[in-house]
Amino acid sequence: MREEDSNWFSRWEEELPSPEELMPLSQTLITPDLALAFDIRNPNHNPTANNTPTQQQAPPLPQTQPQPQPPPSNPLPSSATTPPHPSSAEFAADSVELGSGAAGEEPARTLKRPRLVWTPQLHKRFVDAVAHLGIKNAVPKTIMQLMSVDGLTRENVASHLQKYRLYLKRMQGLSSGSGGGGGGGGAGGLAATADPATDHLFASSPVPPHFLHPGRPNSDHFLPFVPVAALQHHPQQQIAAVAAMAAHPQLQPQYHRQVGHFGSPPNGQFEHPFLSRPSQSVHRMGAPVHNPVPGYVEDLESANGTGGRRVLTLFPTGED
């Protein structure tokens, strides 16, 4: 148990994908042209006049619908008292800026961030980051920086952190000892209590023991180790995601070992995880080859698992 403490830390390095490895995937997966081609744009919501300084070229701007204003699609039958929430269907009222600025702007340029899918791997990075920051330093911004997953926003992390904290709390209450270790077991056996809905994601990554024990001065002093990841601060305009896991729902919960498994050989000499990273070639479409075990295959076509929603899953880096 205590041994694992020092142990899991060593493993962390090995598991960490190098920035180089991330980059190829994180580069511009969705070019403006692609975005246009795929009709990726903001259908009904134009939150802010999002200027992307990174994009120097102006899109062809074929025929942009002026779209005067989207009607309040949701009448909200039960709410007699009009909620002061001007949530999504608003901005028509006082959108001075939006009216003048955004209306003229092409919606296509305003790329809406696709829904982030928290894959176990991504979550693992998240947990690792939190673990090494310590609970107290584990705030969205820092976590986000440590993860250095481009495309990840503070909001993404904050939202996920919220859920994660709830999960931890629940685990603390219901698990004694074996619960934390259960992280090792991982997806296999999870606590019978608590909703499977939220759990199965979190259960897939090993939760560092200290997370479950709030009052534990002992495990506080970890290393000031700063992963290289923290250095790169990239324009977070493009999602690092490879396309969706639209893989058949049947094998969705199946997380098989990744092909690009770069775990250092327990044999002794591990290559530097940060060096000699063979670029993970992401074969985009093309060959209709059936992957025997398509853990995370990029599948743009069927990416729409949620109807019209575009779902992107972040890089499948790291494996256990």
Q: Give me the torsion for CA of 286, 291, 293, 296, rounded to 10°.
A: 10
Q: Is 25 exposed, middle or buried (0-12, 13-18, 19+ CB in 10 A)?
A: buried
Residue 215 token pair: 């009052």
Taking CB under 7 A as the rule, which mask of x and - marks residues 257-296 in contact with DNA? ----------------------------------------
Measured between alpha carbons, how far is residue 213 from residues 53, 168, 180, 219, 299 in Å? 45, 10, 10, 10, 41
Q: Which is nearer to DNA, 2 or 136 (CB)?
A: 136
Taking CB under 7 A as the rule, which mask of x and - marks residues 62-101 in contact with DNA? -----------xx-x------xxxxxxx------------
Q: Which is nearer to DNA, 161 or 207 (CB)?
A: 161
Q: Which is nearer to DNA, 116 or 297 (CB)?
A: 116
Assess 115 for contact with DNA (CB under 7 A): yes
Minimum Å gap between C-beta 299 and DNA is 18
- Identified binder of DNA from the candidate list 5, 8, 41, 165, rule CB under 7 A: 165
Minimum Å gap between C-beta 48 and DNA is 8
Q: Which is nearer to DNA, 86 or 189 (CB)?
A: 86
Residue identified by tokens 């219901």 is 174
Residue 173 token pair: 């209450």
Which window, 21-29, 159-167, 203-211, 267-275, contacts DNA (CB under 7 A)?
Answer: 159-167
Q: What's the rounded Cα separation, in Å, for the pair 87 and 132?
A: 37
Minimum Å gap between C-beta 85 and DNA is 5
Assess 304 for contact with DNA (CB under 7 A): no
Total residues at interface with DNA (CB under 7 A): 40
**Structural Rg of the chain based on CA atoms:** 22
Residue 294 token pair: 């398509």
Assess 234 for contact with DNA (CB under 7 A): no
- Identified binder of DNA from the candidate list 41, 163, 170, 234, rule CB under 7 A: 163
Q: Which is nearer to DNA, 6 or 78 (CB)?
A: 78
Assess 162 for contact with DNA (CB under 7 A): yes
Q: Which of 129-148 are b and which e, b meaning 16 or more Cβ less than 10 Å from the residue's Cβ?
A: bbbbbebeebebebbbbbbb
Q: Which phi-psi region, left, alpha or beta, contains residue 106 (left: φ > 0; alpha: ψ -120 to 50)?
A: beta
- Identified binder of DNA from the candidate list 201, 207, 247, 297, rule CB under 7 A: 201
Q: What's the rounded Cα separation, in Å, for the pair 29 and 254?
A: 25
Q: What's the rounded Cα separation, in Å, for the pair 159 and 162?
A: 5
Residues 119-148 that bind DNA (CB under 7 A): 138-142
The amino acid present at 149, given as its one-letter code, is V
Q: Provide the binding-site residues for DNA, judged by CB under 7 A.
A: 44-45, 47, 73-74, 76, 83-89, 112-113, 115-118, 138-142, 153-156, 158-163, 165, 197-198, 201, 306, 309
